[in-house]
Structure 1
Amino acid sequence: MAANPFVYGEIVTDAAFADREVERDRLARDLLAGQKVFLISPRRYGKSSLVRSVLRDLGRQGVLTVEVTVAASSSYVGFLEAYARALLLAGTPTGRLRQWAGELLGGLRPEVRLDADAPGAPRAVVAFPGIRSSRDVARLAAEVFALPGRIAERRGRRLAVALDEFQAITTFDGGSVEHALRAAVQDQRQVGYVFAGSEPSLMEQMLTPKRPFYKAGPVVRLEPIDPDDFAAFIERRFVRSGIRPGEGLGAAVVDLAGNVPYDVQRLAHELWDDVRASGRKTATVEALHATLTRLLQEHGPMFEDAWQRLTLAQRAVLRAVVLEDGRGLLGADVRLRHRLASASSVQSSLAALVRADLVARPTPERYVVVDSLFREWVARQTY
């Protein structure tokens, strides 16, 4: 039995990756050249899968690769420990980790151990228990941020570092983190960096003239995949798995999922499962709508809870975002049509919806509902 060819909710493999050849090639070239790249993407656009794909390719070419999700750390020291661990493990057997840490960071007295209680196989842990004061933290940061350059020099190999959800760095220790990191990376010629973030407004702010990363390197902004290309990709994947796509199926999937890569893969994945379970050999647009109805029913309680948490003003603005395709929301005609209050009140509600991660603002002119399923639920179930 063929496996489902559509992947969502995890890092997408190369075979299931749609498009992005231009971005992949550019990012790989820049990292090999030691560039410091900012990768800016809306949520659910496949940013992390893109980065992982490029790192895999570079690894096959003998480049040492490191990937750390900044937002996964609950503190600045926690991030520095996670970053140090990832760097020390790059191309290093776990059995030599303690020796390698002592050689490179001995002055900080790192504690290296295996966490046998972690899920799965025992996991190496690097900690710095002696770090207590703010001065200690600054010293630790300087040493860890210098580590990629030292490793590349000691190993005689290029190094590619990916710091994902990089916008979270601004929550650590005020603005000093950006200054310390920029000062360290600018002279590391053998190390390429990709600073990837899924909150475009925060990432763009980090590139303004008064911030440390101003003109630090190239900027890559992930744009929507061409809908025709995406539709063709969807239909090819159905064909290769033994299911014939009905006329217009790919375009319908892309349209209903808002041309958001995560949502497109999700809807196609669920449709494929439903068609295979039914024993049919063709995936039709009618079957697609049946799958969408099922998903809306399954997610209904969660969406209802999210809706109930909103104020009446926020609900009205959210409906306007859905029904007006997120455009012209402050205009008098839109406010009149949807019985919205003043422009300032609409702005306040939009800001609250963005903070709640229900709505995003991919461009200055437009707001979108983050989850296309929630968008469909609002359109169909609210008044």
Structure 2
Amino acid sequence: MTLTWRPASTPANATVDRRSLGEGGQPDCNPPRGGPHRQEIRGAPRRRPVTLYYVTITLFDVTQNPFVYGEVVPAAAFADRVVELDRLVRDLAAAQKVFLISPRRYGKSSLIRLALAAMARRGVLTVDVTVSSFSSYVAFLEGYARALAAAETRAERARTWLRDAISSTLVEIGPDLRAASLPPAGGRPPGPTVSFPNARTDRDVSRLAEEVFALPARLADTRRRPVVVALDEFQAIAGFNGGSVEHALRAAVQRQRDVGYVFAGSEPSLMERMLAARRPFYKAGPVMRLDKIPADEFATFVDRRFLRSGMKPEPGLGAAIVELAGNLPYDVQRLAHETWDEVRGRNRRRATLDDLHQTLWRMLAEQQTMFEATWQRLTLPQRAVLRAVVLEQGTELLSADVRTRHRLGGPSTVQTALAALVRDDVVTREPDGYAVVDSLLREWVARQTF
């Protein structure tokens, strides 16, 4: 694509010397090398020549990075998960109460947002709340009520609806001054702020919770449309009010036939305990567990994204990115994104394995200070076990051979260190062993520690 810039100072009655024009009276788009193309303008002072600058911009120059990380991945950049997305949408359309369990960095939140977008296209009202972002039970109830009120597009009607629905305590509703200056999220205007200043005692909060948890059904009845609620990082709810929130929420949702729920958690062990026998959500709905995307399919996806952006990957690049990133969706997108930027910054259109490794070293250098701080916080047994997880691919850590080779001590010492690493979100438990949560930290430990 060629853009031609005409100077704004050219006199209106000026005549361009047509000998310097191309076909159709347009300026010649092939100026001589060595400088801008100068043309004499009749009627203008001879000592003020007009300069036309020609800038050639190719589609590759304006192509956006095709890999996304650090935010919810849009549909175009979302890898695979077709089967999971289809199942989740079908269950939510049937007003099921779905439990989505996934380790961190597996793309859980992006999958949820895609499902909500699909439901919204069907005319369903969608509500999205991240439970772990709230510091107390009352703060969660306020945020939940706010999200539900925001589904009502008319602000005044939302205020009236919420005040009518909450009778157990004072409801204060006002505009969100912080969100007013931001663009609408998902095409929806900012919702009102909601607070319950008089909910102080356990009895007050318990009565308030019953009314707030009944709001989705009231919303569906008022709007005469189905409602879908996503409660992300749902495992955090167990820390509110001594766990009694599980009983109150289960009692409410089991009566809401026009409301679909997805309770999503990124700490599988906590989520599994919440679904165990004698817990309120035992057999409350279908359970979905996200697994890793098959490595060969993920590698093909990466190579195709490079190609579609106008950059040719060296054979095996996608597979190498997936392997180095531990086949974790977040980490794969991150490493591919940074590699694409590295090549693009050099104004090249071919990405090689050398580019990948240079990118990896740059990223490790950028994270050096943070990884050193993480390492310093660990006890000596935890450091030794972390190195063993990295070098042994997380398997056979309790075997005598591995414990001897890495000087880990007895089985109880290893188990204690592993439990601490899992609790601190450094290591995660997988079906076939343990893995470092951050693939970059794994590579740093392998290269920088002894």
Pairwise TM-score range, normalised by the shorter structure: over 0.9
Q: Going by fraction, where is helix more abundant, 1 or 2?
A: 1
Q: Which residue of 1 aligns with 2:372?
A: 304
Using the alignment, how far apart are the partners of 2:115 and 2:109 within structure 1? 10
* Contact 1:45/1:262 (<8 A) preserved: yes
Alignment correspondent of 2:55? none
Matched, 1:344 2:405: no
Which residue of structure 2 aligns with residue 90 of structure 1? 151
Post-superposition offset of 1:90:
1.0
Residue deviations 1:43-68 (CA, integer Å, cap 9, x gap): 01110010001101110110000000
C-alpha distance after superposition, 1:157-209 (max 9, x if no partner): 10000000000000001121111111110110100000000000000111111
Structure 1 equivalent of residue 3 of structure 2: none
Q: How does 1:129-168 map to 2 (within 5 A)?
A: 129-168=197-236
Structure 1 unaligned regions, length at least 5: none
- The higher radius of gyration belongs to 2
The equivalent residue for 1:213 is 281
Distance 2:113 2:212 in 1: 22
Which of 99, 117, 120 aligns to 1:59? It is: 120
Question: What corresponds to 1:382 in structure 2?
Answer: 449
Question: Cα–Cα, structure 1 residues 152 and 196, in superposed 2: closer, same or farther, change >3 Å?
Answer: same
Out of 392, 400, 422, the position equivalent to 1:324 is 392
Amino acid at match of 1:318: L
Structure 2: gaps spanning 5 or more residues? 1-61, 183-189
1:112 and 2:173 matched: yes
The reply on whether 1:273 has 2:334 as its aligned counterpart is no
**TM-score of the superposition, structure 1-length normalised?**
0.97
Q: Residue in 1 aligned with 2:51? A: none
- Match among 259, 262, 270 for residue 202 of structure 1: 270
User: Does 2:368 correspond to 1:368?
Assistant: no
Contact 1:321 1:367 in 2 (8 A): yes
**CA-atom RMSD in angstroms:** 1.2
Larger RCO, structure (CA 8 Å, separation 6 or more): 1
User: 1:97-131 CA deviation, whole Å, 9 max, x = no partner?
Assistant: 21221222244331101132558347620111121
Q: Which residue of 1 aligns with 2:106?
A: 45
C-alpha distance in 1 between matches for 2:63 and 2:448: 36
Partner SS state of residue 196, structure 1? strand
Q: Alpha-carbon deviation of 1:41?
A: 0.3
Query: What is the alpha-carbon distance in structure 2 between the residues aligned to residue 2 and residue 91 of structure 1?
Result: 37
2:286 matches 1:225: no
Q: Report if aligned partners of 1:64, 1:91 keep a CA contact under 8 Å in 2.
A: no
- 1-structure distance, mates of 2:277, 2:168: 36
**Partner of 2:428: helix, strand, or coil?**
strand
Deviations, residues 223-263 of structure 1 (Å, cap 9, x unaligned)? 00011111111111111110001110110000000000000
Q: Does 1:73 align with 2:137?
A: no
SS at match of 1:6: coil
Matched residues in 1 for 2:99 and 2:202: separation?
A: 28
Count matched residues. Answer: 382
Q: Distance in 2 between matches of 1:45 and 1:33?
A: 25
Give me the TM-score of the superposition, normalised by structure 2: 0.83
1:4 Cα offset (Å): 0.3
Residue 72 of structure 2: aligned partner: 11
- Residues of 1 paired with 2:239 and 2:181: CA distance? 31
Relative distance call for 1:71 and 1:233 in structure 2 (3 A) is: same
Bigger CA drift: 264-273 or 326-335? 326-335
Percentage of identical aligned residues: 64
